[in-house]
């Protein structure tokens, strides 16, 4: 719709600018100051104080005096757990007020010059007011106050101001007053100090102190769902036409139903009309009300494939208000008693549901642990018309206009979600428009727009707006659009276009502009298709709903380009109140904590600290959505959802779906399973994430939560450091347990990135409409007892002999778990041609060829045989964590742990459990470390770098200085690693990184922090048995030496079996750059 805006080009420059204070001149009437105000946060003067420096709360009462200009001033504040009062008066002065304070004691200023910087309204009825007052102790000059002498107050008449208002307040303070919001102190608004002066609705007794929404198992059990008393029995006593406003129902998934309405002739029967695109069909409905608390409704539905199926709309009546009601039914109850799958229907006898009613519905669903953002909204304005007035004569021709259409249906805020950009070379990054009914012109709306341009070459993204224009309803159901583009030199260009409305409802609109039509065939050869949405949230169902209308104009959904719905460009336009989908997940405490504390920059690895994210809370929250990210991984991530399953209080398995692609390649869907372990050092919490990748290389990632509140979180990981401790290769992820997130909250959460010196502007936003993350039910696999071998799935595939040799070598693997609950002990081993199944028989081992074998691309230790699925481990480790990871790697039958063999009774020697600690305590000869040569990394698990080379220098008897050089996977040379290696007589070791040079990776990579060490004339073996993967190892060979059987025997005594995939030797010299770092 705003395509031409970028065609004609908007040329702006960018770069760093020096901030000069320019205090906005806001002309407020005295009445706008009148009332009670909570000071949300304040920035005091650095030297002289207007209020005590250590106060913890402040409430101000301003009362307009009879002269209608003077304001009486009363301030209440908490200091040292005491409530103190300050009085005075405010008199008009130029663009603001002079505050004179009555002082009886104390070394405080008695006069303060104040000016408003910001004043805004919010809330459903504009009942919330927010204001920023800027003050000086010596008068306000044209350029503002003296630096450091400013007093700034962020105020609200609400104890809990909205996030957007707080963000706007902080932004204007930083942009216009040149004051970093980090200089502010957040104050407590939930105190009774000053409670006598506030309005009744803000009294402390009415306030909810904490909206943390802690999950309590008992509260979420479906058996405890007790609907409130209602009048559903009398609801159907009179004839009604009820429309389905929104629903949650798995049976409706992908059916592209746009409208359902039912005309009740009696309280027991109704005739229903359904609309799927241009197709109308009708069904009958039978119902009865049970016990005044439940409705039993049965009907039928015509599916997309043409078959008719029974549909059940029964459920408990959760809420009813005379015009609307909500029915809820649990379809599947989880092990903890909470409902895992719901059926929810919202019925109304009104075409348009107002915002307060929507808010009430959200609250009712949240009260019974149902996520209201899962609601799918239908078109309540649709009507069954035969024949349809908007059916095309020819596919790809110019479309007839949509019906019905009114200015009331178009008014409000619209976000451009996607578009087909045609042949245009320049494209938009984001766009938001607001339509307001013109009171003087019939069928006309005034247009305001903001548009963000895509960064291009050396030009940064630019936010253009506000632009103005008009939209006119035409007689054929189309709209005419006129708007102006103003260039930086002041030249104005007017654009006129005509758009067909392909689809329109409360939530969505699809516009079609045909700018080149074939005169002979009538087909449109060049067009722009614009997909608009009422809120910043766009789901896969929204796409499914309008997909047939895109097909009518020969537009493939894959040709759509998705815009950034969470761009800050256009935040000046308030979101539409129509069917608001966003949930508030941050209290104002969280917002202020982030703005004034959390984002305090800590840029080196020694400064960064992670907060605790309770694994049980993460699990109970259910599905987590990736909202935005910035990383430097090899693949670009477009969407991701995950679900956590705890094993212990500090370990868990993460199962996730990811939509990703290598740059320039088509995107693919991936299913992954990770193991996670929580670690702690004093106040620092971090999490180790282990993954058996599809390349068969075990990898490990360390991440921290920079912020977490059980609703949203910000995750950070540094994969590589610079020598000064700053991060070189970093990743940051913003997650939410809701599919949608309030834009202002997301903007605030992204500010957390500043705490680790990442520019929030570098984060990009994911798309909830991605097909890879649609079927969330698969995140929690079906009960393993319902799966058999035939219908199991873990992305099974076959390997050739070379792949098997590389991945498994010819080692003996113990079977530690099996889908056969009666399975006895056995192992498998590759002999170069076949896998052999090794069982016990009298006198020793019996080998027999494995008839059929397949491998899981998600877990290299998960294997499918002809008669069962097995989990293998080379050292025979039986771990609940590894077992859960395997079970979560696919849809599998239950895996049962096989009993561990008692070595004293084992007949087959291959079934004996290795003693992985038999070398512990042995005396180590440190003189075998050769300080005259370099040691090359031969193999390791986990696998971090491409190559590593170290040189040792003796410092004391058993202490060595090491200097190591490494090369990353892009053949880049990493900074040297330096430190001290302390070796103890019992065979253990500790490494201490050089304080002057940061370690490349923290806490460890192939050079472990601690563990056991084996030293021979030819090599050094480092082993860490406390690692998440079980046994982590790294083998270092003297330069130019070749691996041999004698070395293998040495490392196998420490339970290290080297696989080809873990070796660096074959990769040596495979590129001209491979040795450039050394």
Mean pLDDT per 10-residue run, the chain (1078 residues)? 37 46 84 92 82 88 92 92 91 86 72 88 70 82 74 89 83 86 86 87 67 43 73 83 90 84 89 83 90 88 88 91 90 74 89 72 80 80 56 54 75 88 65 90 90 76 85 83 71 79 83 78 78 83 78 78 86 60 67 78 86 88 88 86 90 90 85 88 89 66 88 89 85 88 83 88 84 74 86 90 89 94 92 92 88 90 93 89 89 92 81 72 81 92 85 90 84 84 90 80 78 92 79 90 91 88 62 55
Predicted local distance difference test score (pLDDT) of residue 863: 94
| 593 Cβ contact partners less than 8 Å away, ≥ 6 residues apart | 186
Q: What pLDDT is stored for residue 211 in this prediction?
A: 44
Those residues whose C-beta lies under 8 Å from the C-beta of residue 491, and which sit 6 or more positions away, are none
pLDDT at 351: 72
For the domain spanning 926-1067, the CATH number is 2.40.128.20
DSSP per residue over 637-698, as a string? EEEEEEEEEESSSSEEEEEEEEEEE-TTS--EEEEEEEEEEEEEETTEEEEEEEEE-TTS-E
In angstroms, the CA 672 to CA 655 distance is 6
Give yes or no for a contact between 1013 and 987, defined as CB atoms under 8 angstroms apart: yes
Place of tokens 């209608």: 68
CATH code for the domain defined by 217-377: 2.40.128.20
Looking at domain 407-562, its CATH superfamily turns out to be: Calycin beta-barrel core domain (2.40.128.20)
Phi–psi pair at 330, nearest 5 degrees: -90, 125
Start-end of CATH 2.40.128.20 domains in the chain: 34-206, 217-377, 407-562, 588-779, 926-1067
Nearest to 810 by CA among 837, 830, 833: 830
Residue 221 pairs in a beta bridge with 338
- For residue 160, what is the DSSP state? S
- Residue matched to tokens 């104005």: 492
Confidence (pLDDT) at 135: 86
Report which DSSP code applies to 604: B
> What residues does 870 pair with on adjacent strands?
818, 863
**CATH class for the domain made up of 34-206:** mainly beta
CATH superfamily placement of domain 588-779: Calycin beta-barrel core domain (2.40.128.20)
The DSSP H or E segment spanning 486 is strand 479-486
Longest pairwise C-alpha distance within the chain: 109
Please name the helix (run of DSSP H) or strand (run of DSSP E) that holds residue 408, with its range, or none. helix 407-410
Residues 847 and 908: their CA atoms lie apart, in Å, by: 11
How many Cα atoms sit within 13 Å of 804 on the Cβ side? 20
Report pLDDT for 819.
Answer: 95
Token readout for 536 is 């910043």
CA distance 513 to 528: 5
Distance CA 734, CA 711 (A): 11
Dihedral over Cα of 1024, 1028, 1031, 1037: its sign: negative
For position 446, what pLDDT does the model report? 92
CATH number belonging to the domain at 784-908, selected among 3.40.50, 1.10.3470, 2.40.128, 2.60.40:
2.40.128
Tell me how far CA of residue 90 lies from CA of 45, 101, 110, 321, in angstroms.
Answer: 20, 9, 12, 47
| Burial class of residue 317 (count of CB atoms within 10 Å of its CB; 0-12, 13-18, 19+) | buried
Contacts for 556 with CB less than 8 Å, ≥ 6 apart? 550
Report whether 394 contacts 523 (CB < 8 A).
yes
């Amino acid at each position: 719709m705003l395509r031409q805006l970028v065609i004609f080009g908007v040329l702006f420059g960018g770069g760093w600018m020096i901030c000069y204070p320019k205090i906005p001149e806001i002309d407020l009437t005295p009445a706008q100051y009148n009332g009670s105000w909570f000071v949300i946060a304040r920035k005091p003067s650095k030297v002289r104080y207007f209020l005590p420096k250590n106060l913890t709360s402040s409430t101000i009462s301003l009362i307009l005096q009879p002269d209608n200009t003077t304001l009486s001033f009363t301030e209440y504040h908490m200091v040292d757990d005491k409530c103190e009062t300050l009085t005075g008066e405010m008199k008009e002065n130029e663009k603001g007020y002079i505050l004179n304070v009555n002082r009886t004691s104390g070394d405080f200023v008695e006069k303060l010059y104040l000016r408003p910087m910001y004043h805004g309204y919010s809330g459903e009825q504009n009942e919330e007011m927010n204001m920023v007052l800027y003050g000086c102790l010596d008068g306000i000059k044209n350029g503002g106050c003296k630096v450091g002498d400013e007093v700034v107050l962020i105020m609200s008449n609400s104890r809990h101001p909205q996030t957007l208002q707080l963000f706007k307040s902080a932004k204007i303070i930083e942009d216009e007053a040149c004051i970093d919001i980090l200089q502010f102190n957040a104050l407590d608004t939930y105190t009774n100090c000053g409670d006598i002066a506030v309005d009744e609705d803000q009294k402390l007794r009415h306030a909810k102190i904490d909206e943390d929404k802690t999950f309590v198992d008992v509260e979420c059990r479906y058996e405890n769902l007790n609907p409130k008393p209602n009048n559903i029995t009398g609801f159907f006593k009179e004839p009604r036409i009820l429309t389905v406003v929104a629903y949650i129902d798995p049976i409706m998934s992908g059916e592209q139903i746009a409208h359902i309405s039912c005309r009740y002739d009696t309280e027991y029967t109704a005739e229903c009309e359904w609309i799927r695109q241009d197709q109308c069909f009708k069904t009958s409905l039978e119902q009865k009300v049970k016990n005044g608390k439940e409705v039993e409704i049965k009907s039928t539905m015509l599916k997309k494939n043409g078959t008719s199926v029974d549909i059940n709309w029964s459920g408990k009546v959760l809420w009813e208000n005379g015009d609307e009601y909500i029915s809820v039914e649990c379809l599947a109850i989880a092990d903890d008693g909470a409902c895992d799958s719901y059926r929810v229907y919202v019925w109304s006898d009104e075409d348009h549901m107002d915002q307060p009613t929507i808010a009430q519905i959200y609250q009712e669903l949240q009260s019974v642990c149902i996520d209201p953002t899962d609601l799918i909204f239908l078109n309540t304005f649709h009507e069954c018309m035969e024949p349809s007035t908007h059916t095309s004569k020819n596919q790809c021709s110019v479309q007839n206009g949509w019906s019905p259409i009114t200015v009331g249906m178009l008014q409000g805020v619209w976000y451009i979600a996607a578009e087909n950009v045609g042949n245009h070379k320049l494209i938009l990054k984001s766009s938001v428009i607001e339509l307001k009914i013109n009171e003087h012109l019939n069928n006309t709306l005034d247009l305001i727009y903001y548009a963000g341009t895509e960064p291009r070459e050396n030009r940064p993204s630019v936010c253009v707006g506000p632009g103005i224009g008009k939209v006119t309803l035409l007689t054929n159901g189309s709209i005419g659009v006129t708007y102006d583009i103003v260039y930086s030199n002041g030249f104005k260009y007017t654009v006129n276009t005509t758009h067909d409305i392909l689809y329109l409802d409360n939530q969505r609109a699809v516009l079609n502009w045909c700018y080149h039509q074939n005169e002979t065939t009538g087909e449109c050869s060049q067009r722009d298709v614009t997909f608009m949405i009422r809120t910043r949230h766009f789901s896969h169902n929204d796409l499914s709903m309008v997909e047939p209308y895109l097909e009518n104009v020969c537009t493939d959904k894959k040709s759509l380009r998705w815009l950034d719905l969470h761009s800050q460009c256009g935040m000046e336009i308030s979101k539409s109140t129509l069917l608001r989908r966003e949930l508030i997940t941050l209290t104002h405490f969280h917002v202020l904590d982030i703005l004034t504390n959390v984002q305090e920059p800590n840029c080196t690895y020694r400064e960064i600290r992670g907060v605790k994210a309770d694994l049980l809370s993460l699990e109970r929250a259910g599905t987590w959505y990736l909202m935005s990210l910035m990383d430097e991984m090899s693949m670009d991530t477009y969407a991701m959802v995950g679900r956590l399953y705890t094993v212990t209080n500090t370990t868990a398995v993460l199962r996730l779906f990811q939509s990703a692609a290598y740059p320039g390649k088509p995107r693919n869907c991936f299913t992954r399973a990770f193991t996670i372990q929580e670690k702690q050092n004093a106040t620092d919490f971090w999490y180790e994430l282990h993954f058996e990748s599809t390349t068969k290389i075990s990898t490990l990632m360390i991440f921290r939560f920079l912020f977490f509140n059980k609703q949203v979180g910000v995750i950070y990981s540094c994969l590589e450091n610079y020598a000064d401790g700053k991060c070189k290769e970093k990743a940051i992820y913003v997650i939410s347990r809701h599919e949608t997130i309030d834009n202002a909250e997301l903007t605030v959460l992204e500010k957390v990135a500043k705490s680790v010196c990442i520019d929030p502007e570098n984060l990009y936003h994911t798309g909830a409409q991605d097909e890879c993350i649609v079927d969330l039910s698969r995140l929690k696999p079906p009960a393993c007892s319902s799966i058999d071998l035939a219908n199991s799935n873990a992305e099974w595939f076959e390997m050739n002999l070379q792949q098997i040799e590389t991945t498994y070598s010819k080692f003996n693997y113990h079977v530690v778990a099996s889908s056969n609950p009666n399975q006895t002990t056995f192992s498998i081993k590759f002999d170069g041609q076949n896998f052999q199944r090794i069982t016990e028989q009298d006198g020793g081992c019996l080998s027999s060829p494995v008839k059929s074998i397949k491998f899981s691309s998600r877990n290299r230790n998960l294997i499918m045989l002809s008669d069962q699925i097995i989990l293998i481990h080379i050292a025979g480790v039986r771990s609940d964590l590894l077992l859960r990871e395997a079970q979560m790697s696919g849809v599998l039958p239950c895996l049962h742990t096989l009993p561990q063999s008692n070595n004293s009774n084992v007949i087959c020697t291959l079934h004996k459990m290795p003693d992985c600690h038999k070398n512990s305590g042995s005396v180590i000869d440190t003189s075998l470390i050769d300080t005259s040569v370099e040691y090359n990394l031969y193999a390791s698990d986990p696998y971090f770098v491409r190559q590593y080379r170290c040189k040792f220098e003796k410092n004391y008897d058993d202490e060595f200085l090491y200097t190591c050089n490494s090369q990353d996977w892009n053949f880049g040379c990493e900074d040297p690693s330096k430190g001290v290696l302390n070796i103890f007589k019992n065979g253990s070791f500790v490494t201490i990184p050089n304080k002057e040079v940061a370690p490349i990776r923290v806490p460890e990579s192939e050079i472990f922090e601690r563990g056991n060490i084996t030293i021979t004339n030819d090599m050094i073996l480092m082993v860490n048995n406390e690692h998440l993967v079980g046994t982590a190892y790294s083998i270092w060979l003297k330069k130019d030496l070749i691996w041999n059987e004698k070395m293998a025997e040495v490392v196998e005594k420490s339970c290290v079996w080297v696989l080809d995939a873990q070796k660096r030797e074959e990769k040596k010299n495979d590129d001209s750059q491979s040795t450039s770092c050394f």
